């Protein structure tokens, strides 16, 4: 009986994390809708993490222009997008900022998330912080023009 309960508990927590991901996507969708045509819709921007590359290697953005940054782990290994200066300089929707820990977005294999943000001007290096991943090719640059 106890064992059955443990399995149930595990499944429930897995469901909760799936629900959280779906809630984030729904929130961003409503944020986009709320922005309305007069403010201009956020531009969708993608960063793909693979073993072992960040694509694009250099991402060009415009300061002050809202974006929906989709970070996707398109691989079977865990990776992260580490860009502490980029994230701390940007204005990030609070619900999305909660997904960034120590300047890092950690993603399980084949998971993605969307961050609604307004980038600030600068040149920011990005990498995966997992051991040897940067050396193997997981590094890049975000250039935000003013």
Q: Contact residues for Cu ion (CB under 5 A)? A: 79, 128, 130, 133, 138
- The residue among 44 and 109 lying less far from Cu ion, judged by its C-beta, is 109
Question: What is the rounded distance in angstroms from the CA atom of residue 25 to the CA atom of residue 12?
Answer: 20
Residue nearest to Cu ion (CB): 128
How far is CA 34 from each of CA 27, 41, 69, 70, 135, rounded to the nearest angstrom?
10, 9, 17, 19, 42
Q: Quick count: other Cβ atoms within 10 Å of Cβ 87?
A: 22
Min CB(124)–Cu ion separation in Å: 18
Min CB(74)–Cu ion separation in Å: 12
SS3 123: strand
Min CB(72)–Cu ion separation in Å: 13
Min CB(82)–Cu ion separation in Å: 9
- The residue among 111 and 130 lying less far from Cu ion, judged by its C-beta, is 130
- The residue among 93 and 133 lying less far from Cu ion, judged by its C-beta, is 133
- The residue among 79 and 99 lying less far from Cu ion, judged by its C-beta, is 79
> With b meaning 16 or more CB within 10 Å and e meaning fewer, what string describes 27-39?
ebeebbeeeeeee
Q: Quick count: other Cβ atoms within 10 Å of Cβ 128?
A: 29
């Amino acid at each position: 009986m106890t064992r059955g309960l443990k399995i149930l508990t595990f499944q429930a927590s897995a469901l909760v994390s799936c629900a959280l991901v779906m809630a984030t996507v729904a929130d961003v969708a409503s944020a986009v809708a709320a922005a309305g045509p007069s403010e201009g819709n956020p531009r969708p921007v993608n960063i793909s993490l693979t073993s072992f590359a960040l694509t694009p290697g250099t991402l060009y953005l415009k300061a002050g222009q809202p974006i929906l940054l989709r970070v996707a782990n398109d691989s079977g290994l865990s990776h992260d997008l580490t860009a502490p200066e980029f994230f701390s300089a940007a204005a990030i929707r609070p619900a999305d900022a909660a997904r960034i820990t120590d300047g890092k977005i950690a993603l399980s294999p084949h998971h993605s998330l969307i961050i609604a943000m307004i980038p600030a001007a600068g040149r920011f290096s990005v990498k995966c912080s997992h051991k040897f991943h940067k050396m193997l090719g997981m590094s890049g640059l975000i250039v935000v023009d003013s």
